[in-house]
Amino acid sequence: MPGRPRTPLGTFGEVATRQIGPRRFRASTRLRDWDGQSRQITATGESASAARSALKTRIAERLRAGDSSGALTADSPFADLADAWLEDLWLDADRSDGTKEVYERELRSLVLPMFRTLTVREVTVGRVERFLREQRSRSYARAKHSRTILSMVLAFAVRREIIARNPVKETSRLRRPKHVPKALTVEQLALIRRAACEWRSEPGALGPRPDGQVRDVIEVMLGTATRIGEVLAIRKCDVDVTSAVPTVAVNGSIVVRKGVGVSRQPKTKTGESRVVAIPPFAAEVFRRRLVRLAQHPDDHLVFFTRNGTPLAPHNVRRTLREMLKSVGLDGIDISPHAFRRTGATLLAHQMNIETAAEVLGHSTPATTRAHYAEPDRRVNAASAHVLQQLAPASDVTDLSA
């Protein structure tokens, strides 16, 4: 004989009330909670009706706490779904706060302007396709980021059974424009170094004299092929210039957090630390910096502001742009990443792509090859010796005679 039908999630049975004291009543019922468990829920009030109202309020709060998207349906505003996704995102312990801030910023600047006035149901494949095409007409990066964020929001809706499928997955593939990594030339490096040494050193220059830190950062980036945030996060204790082969431990990164400012986090972008051997010209920079830090604790940063706080990466980039402008290189796309690409290219050409990937901190050489190491178009010269075997025999008659 079939049993009693199961109570749907979020519903409750008959509410019972009883007086438990002078002007004090208790209401109780059994609720099938958001996790499927049946629980006794109670609340009190000065009257039976007040106790029942308090009980219903407690049930609603409990269901919202158990599942922030429980009240959402396919007819809910997309903006409400986006807010629920953000709440869920900030509970994700596997993502850094910096990544969460980027996702939230891109949601509000790229996705919500288009879909804010739609319901979840109205975010169809066709509308998403048109949206991504419009974003792609502006730039590939904009379209890629838009697609990623929108797909994560709608995947959240699928997991919460608000919609049956993710329409982003049915849209056309975004094709990445062909990109060939470019390393700096010897001539460009000479101009950059000259600019770093001479910038704002001419007589009559306004403002405080440069302290040479950006010049030193450039040399360290060239000598270690590290990210700008990783270079700025190097501490005294991370540097060893006394060994036969000087090294630097790359185990942190400078980040900028909303409401926090500039700080050092004890991990790199990928979360993996590494120890990099450094060439003599970069070791000399560290020796010079360490002399200045002789009276500071071991965990003091090698590069820092006049107040002793971490240098902000965007300030270093801004100073670099001003330096490049002074020698006529402002029309070329040269960022701190250009130094990283230059190091990666040299390592890949003169050693191998695997070594370059290890120095750069990449998990696979594919990333190094695709985005950092400029392709070596030169063919092994030994091929000419092999192909010489196809030369005509010496006794073949000259047909042109």
Q: Residue 107: name the closest of 81, 126, 125, 133 by CA.
A: 81
271 contacts 362 by C-beta, under 8 angstroms: no
Q: How many CA atoms lie within 13 A of 236 on its CB side?
A: 13
In this structure, which long-range contacts are made by residues 356-360, counting pairs with CB atoms below 8 Å and at least 24 apart in sequence? 356/225, 358/274, 359/224, 359/225, 359/274, 359/276, 360/225, 360/226
The rounded percent of the chain whose pLDDT value lies above 90 is 45
193 contacts 218 by C-beta, under 8 angstroms: yes
Residue 292: CB atoms within 10 A of its CB come to: 9
Q: Residue 159: name the closest of 96, 78, 59, 72 by CA.
A: 72
Tell me the average pLDDT across 94-119. 90
Backbone angles phi, psi at 264, to 5 degrees: -100, 130
Q: What are the tens digits of pLDDT across the range 184-194?
A: 889 999 999 99
Lateral strand order in the sheet of 239-240? 239-240, 247-250, 274-277
Residue 350: CB atoms within 10 A of its CB come to: 10
Q: What are the tens digits of pLDDT across the range 271-312?
A: 788 999 999 999 999 999 999 998 999 999 999 988 888 999
Tell me the average pLDDT across 131-140. 94
Most confident option among 143-157, 167-181, 204-218? 143-157
| CATH top-level class of 186-200+209-371 | mainly alpha
Query: Over the range 159-197, which residues count as b (16 or more CB within 10 Å of their CB) and which as e?
Result: ebebbeebbbeebeeeeeeeeebebbeeebbebbbebbe
**pLDDT at residue number 318:** 92
In angstroms, the CA 263 to CA 282 distance is 24
**pLDDT at residue number 369:** 87
Pick from 59-73, 260-274, 365-379: least confident: 59-73
Average pLDDT in the chain: 87
CATH architecture of 78-170: Orthogonal Bundle (1.10)
Residue 48 has pLDDT above 80, yes or no: yes
Tell me the average pLDDT across 242-253. 92
Tell me the average pLDDT across 195-206. 77
Residue 381 has pLDDT above 90, yes or no: no
Residue 399 has pLDDT above 70, yes or no: no
pLDDT band per the 50, 70, 90 thresholds, residue 119: very high
Tell me the average pLDDT across 359-374. 87
Q: What are the tens digits of pLDDT across the range 308-324?
A: 889 999 999 999 998 88
Pick from 253-267, 287-301, 367-381, 386-400: least confident: 386-400
pLDDT band per the 50, 70, 90 thresholds, residue 2: low
**pLDDT at residue number 156:** 95
Pick from 85-94, 108-117, 128-137: least confident: 85-94
Tell me the average pLDDT across 31-57. 85
Residue 21 has pLDDT above 90, yes or no: no
pLDDT band per the 50, 70, 90 thresholds, residue 3: low
48 contacts 25 by C-beta, under 8 angstroms: yes
Tell me the average pLDDT across 332-342. 88
pLDDT band per the 50, 70, 90 thresholds, residue 105: very high
